[in-house]
Structure 1
Amino acid sequence: MEAAARLFREKGYTATSMRDLAQAVDLKASSLYNHISGKEGLLREICFNNAHRFHRELDQIEIREDSAEAKVRALIHLHIQVATEDITSITAFNDEWRHLTEPHLSEFIAQRKSYESRFRSIIEAGMKDGSFKVFHANIALYTIFSAIRWIYDWYQPGKSISMEQLEEEISGLLLNGLNADTTFQIL
């Protein structure tokens, strides 16, 4: 799985062959088929393992008696943590899921939409209780996702800023924009 995730990140899913995978784990391609059904099975496992992790963590965050801001901060932390701990896997999860075939593609999209809907509900709760400015919740949701999505492309532990500083600065930028006490003009 690690070799597949690494190759999917480096070459892309479609450009990665079973021969590439076999070579990466020091097996013959024919022997590799004794262990896995094909590269889509690996992609499916990578995608669904990550999706399940995000849902499990969201389950825990939703039941907390925290404010909407604390919950959004916890979700930002989760995304940063996953993006920095498992760079190769999260790349495949973010970029290569479109190569899943049916019925797995529809199942993955449903899980993705469910996660987005639940995250959006937390943002909307913050707007409703006055913690966040009122504007289109999808703009807030996808801005957060977009801001976090690029981390795995450049962040290198120990070579730039600390994880704590990374998380604090991203959370600060994003949450100050949502915070009802922060003033700015919407054009």
Structure 2
Amino acid sequence: MILFFVLAKSCVSDYVSGGDKNHIAELQQMIDENTNIVANLSNEYTETRIAKVVKLYKFDYSFDLNGESYNGKITLNEIPNANKLKIYYLKENPNTISADPFDDLKSENEKGKSISDLLVGILWGILSIITLISLVTSFSKKKTPETHKEKKKIVRKKNKIIESQKEVTEEEKKKIELEKERIRKEKEDPSRFMPK
């Protein structure tokens, strides 16, 4: 439920506030300055699957620039063919990188303009509300023990029997007894199974 709420808030806030202005400026600066380098990727990576459709791959990267070594993690949409990858970096801070600043810039600029983020956020919000309601109803059902309900039913049945016995007169009791006797005799009669 909390995850659904966080996803809803994230999507709706992306729509309301638009793209991150600082990140857009950094990406634009990477493109304008064309600061790129070939980084070494690790042989091992972590695969993450989102909604059974999208796969993301997280690699460790490292590169040397002006005598200094930089490393970190980068997430890619596909596994590269080699252990080398061309990445763009920010000149003032080479730890800020992007594998494809053009695509990243496009997606940041689309935030707040596309209604799809808002619709997805609303969907996540509805799912979180449904989950909350089902959670509340399941907790309220657990508070009432089943044995307590059964005892109440038994007590009510006993009360009905007692009330009905109070209303029966002596004459009605005799009729009931005669009817019971007639039913008992019919059950004892062996010819009842014979065709008539």
TM-score, scaled relative to structure 1: 0.25
Which TM-score applies when normalising by structure 2? 0.24
More strand by share: 2
**Structure number having the greater helix percentage:** 1
